[in-house]
Structure 1
Amino acid sequence: MTGRQLFNKRLIEELRFQSGIIRSVVDCTIALYIVIPALVAAVMIYKEAWQNISLYWHGDLPFSLLLVLVFLFSLSSNFRTYIMEADLLYVIQRGKLLYGLKLHAFIFSIMLTMFQVIILFMLLKSFLRNKASVFAYLQITMITFSAIIIVPILLKWIIFICSIFFIHYWLYHLYRKMLDSPFFCYCSN
């Protein structure tokens, strides 16, 4: 079994589990009276936003607020490894299998986050469609995609550097404490 095959198997299991949860919450009654009317209303509001932007978007609203909200939305995603507790020992002993599983899970997580951000951008496009907002739209796009890709890598390096600093600080103080102890003291009598 390869890492890709194991990832595909875990992904199918996860999708079945999530669809079971959705089916248990959204039965026919809920779908008929809440979900379908909400979808119809959302389509109508989105169409109205394309036609009458002034009803939904105030010109004095600071652009930085929107930028911060989109940035925070892009950071809210998580990266799944699809490693189960039951087979943790088996997968860890086979490094190539673990690497393949983590690689495919990471790529899938990034693709899922990109899909969510593209959907968000499609929603925001109705508000940012005039010529003055095209540059703002490009800024949001670039910052969000950089947040998706660069922030996890940057966070990993920050944690790594902090841990090296902590270990160095701890070893230095341990060394100083050992030198100050009477056991290591050179006494000439």
Structure 2
Amino acid sequence: MAMLRKPESTEYASYFGQYIKLVPEGYLADLLAEQSEQTKSMLDQVTEEQGSFRYAPGKWSLKEVLGHIADTERIMSYRLLRVGRGDQTMLPGFSEEAFVSGAAFDQQPLKYLIDELAVVRLSTLSLLSGMPDEAWMRKGNVNGIETSARALAYVIAGHELHHCRVIKERYLSAVR
């Protein structure tokens, strides 16, 4: 995978900007691999009981946040695959609330969810490593907005960065 530069704001929906701006410059594949290790390390000392913690009524549990990160990465990777391969089919949006409520993450062991994040990331890294250089600038229709493959790769990294910050500030600080 070649070194990617951050996408221009014309390459993605404005709401993706909150995630993309969090990603530092550098080799994205290296960042994603390091990020996976950092996330696992951050979660290694969390107990099963702490995985069910909600920092406020109506908020997701820590387990649900982890499931959401994995689900979103799967969806963004799928979109990246379609766009990067030149598929012009309109790709629909998704409801993160429906995905979380339909998954029963709280009933799954915390260790499984942590391992699942790592497996999903390995799959993403495999996809990225096989993308030809010209694929990164290809654009497709994602939820009605023209989006580049590279923007989707950056969304994956930034989305996890965002949620790891939330986990540290609102979950781990409260349970330790």
Structure number with bigger Rg? 1
**Shared fold per TM-score greater than 0.5:** no
Q: TM-score, normalised by structure 1?
A: 0.23
Q: Which has the higher contact order (CA 8 A, sep 6+)?
A: 2
Q: Larger % of helix: which? A: 1
TM-score (structure 2 length as normaliser):
0.25
Judging by fraction of residues, say which structure has more strand.
Answer: 2
